[in-house]
Structure 1
């Protein structure tokens, strides 16, 4: 059994969790149409896997889908209905026409089975009793934030939660009915505003893009103010999350009080390896880009520990990042996006040194100081390296 460290704003809590590696086949019990492009998929977790798939608000899993000639891996937030927090449910959008999302939204049915990795992540609201939690979601970024809002409203009767959800149109607003139910259940403590970016509404405040000019007015409407009693959680496309985070900090919010996660499928990226991915913007000066061959290392022996197993490969840093070399011999090594975004390939460096390249967004300063790296962005800097994916 491993211990996961979860950063929650000003506090850090640790709790035991089973291994985050390995694959398990779970049966689909329900597929519910949400919009033309999205479904909610509920899965059955057998008693033997209850501990393995115990989930916290903000957790995500990787789904592995077998296709001719290979596999697709996608990461999705666990998003139980507000009235059933123990349910194991994923919200899946269509995405690429030949991807897993297309299959899930057109062919997936009760009785089918999906291969999943155990839940992981550290996207969470701070343990701050009586706080005002201000959430900003863009599109499918609502999925972790809905779970987080429902959980904190149930757990802390003194807190308030305010949510801004930016979506193109009313018809594309995911989980709007469940947000309304949550409002009815916590009418005095939960407020939700939908901002339609491609549909006109009577009020200009809730129409158009959520930008640096509109954000202060939205926050004023929610009676949100920067300070020790207010926290922020942002999730959505890169542009929205980055702009909102910068605007909040300029407004006076403590950067440590702004938790972020990014869902993105950038044009031209590897559609065969990801659909929804998530990340936290790194703290300033967390890591410098590393390019070219790390000095003094032509080949290295990398030993990886994952799922109770030990694997060793030879890596040529001028040719490969560590993940590429591992996957050629051990395709079960954890990963999803391969772009330094989702954090699924996070591992702790036990011995040796690695160079972490630029473009990683899943590790913060504390992770790096503790010796963690992303193998999709790392190259050996010493002849021998040992990595632990289960740490």
Structure 2
């Protein structure tokens, strides 16, 4: 799972002023190896300033199409890797890429008759676009209702592709844009044959969700809800869905960060760590302020990880003994935490001894 493959960059496309999409060529011999589900992500590895860094980026391509793997990367303030990609990656470059992974995806079947509600904000469109295209291509009887939030019309990622899908699947795909700071000429976008486009002012918040579902009720009662964006947007959307009694098992969430942690919890200095990893028993100590993951990496080991933000869950392991504190957890649900699973990239020791196992 932690193996990397060198893939060649086929295309670098400027999607907006601060976002780029990157397409990768997958050699024929690796086609099956790189099979993925709509909504999953790739982990990229770079050496920047002499340091190895990894980041996860969702696939916006569709596995139902014979098209290159494509990710979308938006600049982030002080974002080491996102800015490096936008400034430096060019066609022909070789990039170290891990196999597709992730637990945010749609299980699709040709004979399904469903309604899919897709909620995205900003760069959260990337996995949502993959799900959208694959549903429309694969499930001919299913319907998609999508609410997409951005700051202004200039920041709408994949706008041309979305417009094309609207025209091609007008009978099964409804798209509503909502902008928090629309430009004064916002209405001009809907002139000259674009009057059928639907838009509103505001964010993807509780009121927007309530309005959207009332305005566009499900066609098929078998309905699923997919959400991707920053933390506040996710919290608002989930609450709005729960308020109308949508079961949690029908709500699927992928976080793209956006939550600033004020956590000041301090761990035990020089706690003892025993880790079962790749068939090896590792014994070491955790220095003050370090996570379990960073302790293992600094010890020259190769634990699984990608985002180091508490989002992707690649670094998940099981706590066998001791107590830890997770500074951030957007990757595990309550049932997994109750079973003893932790995110090693976010876990600091609260007891003198910690024992974990990577399953």
Q: TM-score range by the shorter chain?
A: 0.7 to 0.9
Structure 2 unaligned runs (5+)?
Answer: 188-196
Matches within 5 A, 1:1-391: 20-80=1-61, 84=65, 86-96=67-77, 99-125=80-106, 129-199=112-182, 201=186, 206-224=200-218, 229-266=222-259, 292-293=267-268, 298-305=271-278, 310=280, 312-316=282-286, 320-330=290-300, 332-348=302-318, 352-353=320-321, 355-358=323-326, 359-368=328-337, 372-378=341-347, 385=355, 387-388=357-358, 391=359
CA offset at residue 194 of structure 1? 0.9
| 8 Å Cα contact 2:150-2:203 kept in structure 1 | no
What is the alpha-carbon distance in structure 1 between the residues aligned to residue 296 and residue 73 of structure 2?
29
Per-residue deviation at 1:197?
1.2
Question: Counterpart of 1:55 in 2: which secondary structure?
Answer: coil
- What count of residue pairs does the alignment treat as equivalent? 343
CA distance in 1, matches of 2:171, 2:156: 23
CA contact under 8 A between 2:117 and 2:145: conserved in structure 1?
yes
Deviations 1:350-377 (A, max 9, x none): xx33534243121124534665431123
- 1:204/1:40 Cα in 2 relative to 1: closer, same or farther (>3 Å)? closer
Q: Which digits, 9 at most, give the CA deviation of each residue in 1:219-250, with x for residues without a partner?
A: 2222249x952211111111111111101111
TM-score normalised according to structure 1 size: 0.77
8 Å Cα contact 1:354/1:378 also seen in 2 = no
Contact 1:233 1:258 (8 Å CA) reproduced: yes
CA separation of 1:98 and 1:366: change in aligned 2, threshold 3 A: closer
Q: Structure 1: 5+ residue runs without aligned partners?
A: 1-19, 270-288
- Mapped to 1, the partners of 2:113 and 2:312 lie a distance apart of 31
CA distance in 1, matches of 2:124, 2:281: 36
TM-score, normalised by the number of residues in structure 2: 0.84
| Distance in 2, Cα, partners of 1:52 & 1:26 | 13
CA shift for structure 1 position 47: 2.9
1:205·1:218 contact (CA, 8 Å) conserved in 2?
no
